[in-house]
Each structure stands twice: as structure tokens, then as C-alpha cells.
Amino acid sequence: MRPLPQRQQGVALMIVIFIFALVSILSVGMYNRQSLFIQSTGNVLAQSQAYQYAIASEIYGKRLLKADWDEDKENSEFYDDLEQTKNSILIPVEEAFLQAQFNDLQGKLNLNDLVLVDGKTANALMVTRFKKLFSRLSIQTVKVDVLLDWIDIDQDPSNIDGIEDGEYLSQDTPYRNASQPFRSVSELLLLPGISQEDYQNLLPHVSALPQGYVSINVNTASKEVLQSLSDLNDADADSVAEQRESSPWKTFADFQADPLISGANFDFTNLEVKSEFFEIATLITLADRKARLVSVIYRNNKDGVMQVLSRDQGQKYLITKDKIAL
């Protein structure tokens, strides 16, 4: 056979080099894509593992609530105080850290109780309590009447400060008011004009629970909420809070008979010393990943049976209380 001409040999060499370069490029692309897939899978698995830790925290919290109910039943004294809610816990688990805290949702004023269960009639007592709370917290950028109109089912402004769909539809991004109970306290941010500062000031003192069925637990209520229920001044509110931390009221009769309470012009309507609605807030740190979970738990005080009402993974600032390492 005759040898290839020199020009043909050069073309063959260029083809070989081109094929080698193409294979190299494809190999690098496949390697990078495989690395990306492996990293993505690792992220999914780690996030799933962290979420399962958070679910385990919820289950453990429910067991603690059940144990507390069992103890109350054994002692025939059903009450809930600040003991299990005043601190958060920090627990190292396998390759992760778990932080969790209980929040007693009945130590707050329920936004939805501003309107009676008929969806139309304002609850005069709760309106008074919210106005006192707003005054105590110096809330300026939102009015109680605006909250009423957010909840009630009609389109008639409650009072001169109330607003209905017309005001919401005139916003830069138009929307309607809810005309139904709050599903989350974060809905307050949808009210026109409310400042972030006022929202943050309200957040520790208000809840969004079922309408007409939730009492306020005076054992766990903040000083500001206690003042919204009475004529307590700042000094007396401090005295009440200090006393109940070391000696909580075990019965509602004890609360009514307390000298610090009997002279403070409390309206005892819809007040209690026990709770049924709790929040378990959990933050899991696994390597450089975080999983968050806020679970709302209903504990039936008649039989101790518990039900998870909601789970929220979107909240950021969950752990707000002093930490205790376990």
C-alpha cells in the first residue's frame, strides 16, 4: 500500500485531535453535572434529615404536654404556668443541634375574637381590651377598627377608622380584605400603613386562634396583656408578674381572690388559668443547613388528646427565649 500524502496525514491528525478535545469536553461536562447531582442529592437528604429532627421535636413536645396533663389530672389541678414556656432548650443530636421552645398561645389576645362567631357583630369586650393593648404598646399605624373590618363578612366600615375593599383596591398592588378570621398573625402586614415596628411590638401579645372558643390564660399572659384586661398600672403589673412566676394561680378562684387582682378592676369574662393551644418552635442546624418548624398543637383538657393544627416552615426568628443546654 502506498503511504498517505503528507496533506492527508495532517487532516487525519486534526480529526483525531478534534475528537479527543470533544470527548474531553463531554467528559468534563458529565463530571460537573454528576457532581452537581451528587451535591443536590446531598442537600435534599440533609434537609430531609433536619426536617425529621424537627418532627421528632414536635413529637417530644407533645409527650411533654401529655405528661403535664397527666400530672394535673392526678393532682386534680388543671393549670398551666410559665415553667415550661419561659426558656428554650439546646440539645446536641447526631451531627446536628436542636433548639426548641414552647409558646402558650392563650397567654395572648386572640385577634379573631374581635368579632363574634356570626361573623358580623363586634365583640365589645375584646374591642376594649385591644384598644387598651394598643394604647399600652403605643401602636400608631393601625387601628382596632381596621382589624374588625378585616375579619367581618360585610363591606360596611365599622367606624370612622374602619376600611373595606375600596381602600385595599386602591393600593399600588390592589387586593381585597379577607372578610374572614385571621389564619396567621402575619396577615397584619397586609393592613395598609402598618409599620414593621408596630407589627413587631404586637407580635408577642396577639394570636390567631379559633373564634369564640379560646380563653386567656392569666398565668402566662404578658404584663401588657394583663393590663389590657384590667386597670393595673406598670408597677402593679410588675408585682403580679413577679408573684405568679413563683406562685402561679392553680384555680380561677385563687386568681379572683388574689389581693393584687381583686382591686385592679379585672373583667373576669373569658379568663382562665389553663391552656389548650400551644406552639412548638424548633430550629435544627445540620452542618451549614437549617430547618425550621412551628407546630400549633391543640390539647383537649377533657381527655388530654392532642392534635396538630398546623405546621409552618417559613418563619425565621423562632427562638426568642433564654437557652438551657441539655
Quote the pLDDT of residue 42: 63
Q: What is the pTM of this model?
A: 0.84
* CA 202 remoteness from chain centre: 13
The reported pLDDT for the residue numbered 300 is 94
* Grid cell digits, residue 81: 404556668
What's the structural domain count of the chain? Answer: 1
- Cell reading at 182: 385571621
Phi-psi region of 76 (alpha: psi -120 to 50; beta: other; left: phi over 0): left
Q: What residues make up the domain containing 97?
A: 1-326
pLDDT reported for residue 37: 66
Predicted confidence pLDDT, tens digits, the chain (326 residues): 555 555 555 667 777 777 777 777 777 777 677 667 666 766 677 788 889 999 999 999 999 999 999 999 999 999 999 888 888 888 888 788 899 999 999 999 999 999 999 998 999 999 999 999 999 999 999 999 999 999 999 888 777 778 888 888 888 888 898 999 999 999 999 999 999 999 999 999 999 999 988 899 999 999 999 999 999 999 999 999 999 988 999 999 999 999 989 889 999 999 999 999 999 999 998 877 888 999 999 999 999 999 999 999 988 888 888 888 76
* Confidence at residue 225, expressed as pLDDT on a 0 to 100 scale: 97
Q: What is residue 310's predicted lDDT score, i.e. its pLDDT?
A: 93
Strands 289-299 and 277-286: antiparallel
Burial 136-154 (b: 16+ CB within 10 A, else e): bbebeebbbbbbbbbbbee
